[in-house]
Structure 1
């Protein structure tokens, strides 16, 4: 299922609905609403679809909906990063650029398993460790690529 108008999808995984409250020393104090406003500003006039889920099957459905003819996907898979093979398989079918975004630097996290993203093997690029500003960078890069096509 493809949307009638090409859009930038910003997809957020588990627990990001608690952004600003959950471990602010790692993820900062900005809320998910703040991130959405940042993304909408970065997108300018381009349509933007912004979603968050704690459910893997829902993320798969959103990725499938964005798989053809879209501007691009910025995805913060959050905990799906490490073991959500259905999300990975859905990303393999996408024909637009995909940028993986992580608020923290996953390569500097205390638990070694947090540094190993299974998504990285299929995404166009990854932004990690720049806080919520990474979302704006991802959206602007997707818009830039769309303008060059």
Structure 2
């Protein structure tokens, strides 16, 4: 089973950015933990701060992978383009957020991804990614 985790803007700052919200672990370190926990899966990881690069990556894998776990960061709430590409592909997408977006600013309550995703997991810290992986088993 081939799964890619795609992270959007500022998620490269995990471990440094607002540790009270996002924790103190880098995503790269956490990703190594996921690979150990899920040896039956081929896990890949991609991160970009650029909306178009995220869309291109989703297009590249969206017809050949078994699953996409997407944390589009702030683009979740602003990008019609990312919402459209999720609708256009055949690979199932799980939308993930580290924090509970509904307990934060009101603009974070809107998602252009959720309506086209297989499911949404939020508010469980980095464990949200693990829960998303379990959904593909």
Instruction: State the TM-score, normalizing by the size of structure 1.
Output: 0.87
CA contact 1:35–1:135 (8 Å) conserved in 2: no
CA contact 1:13–1:54 (8 Å) conserved in 2: yes
For each residue in 1:3-23, what CA deviation from the matched residue of structure 2 results, as whole angstroms up to 9, or x when unmatched? xxx620100000000001101
**Aligned residue in 2 for 1:147:** none
Matches within 5 A, 1:1-149: 7-109=2-104, 111-142=105-136, 144=137
1: distance between equivalents of 2:116 and 2:66? 17
SS in 1 for 2:46: strand
Change (3 A) 1:114 1:35: same
What is the aligned residue count? 137
2: distance between equivalents of 1:42 and 1:96? 23
Deviation at 1:58, TM superposition (A): 0.5
Provide structure 2 residue ranges, at least 5 long, that are not aligned to the other structure. none
Return 61-70 or 40-49, whichever deviates more.
40-49
1: distance between equivalents of 2:100 and 2:11? 16
Question: Which 4+ runs in 1 deviate beyond 2 A?
Answer: none
Instruction: State the TM-score, normalizing by the size of structure 2.
Output: 0.94
Aligned-residue Cα RMSD (Å) equals 1.3
Provide structure 1 residue ranges, at least 5 long, that are not aligned to the other structure. 1-5, 145-149
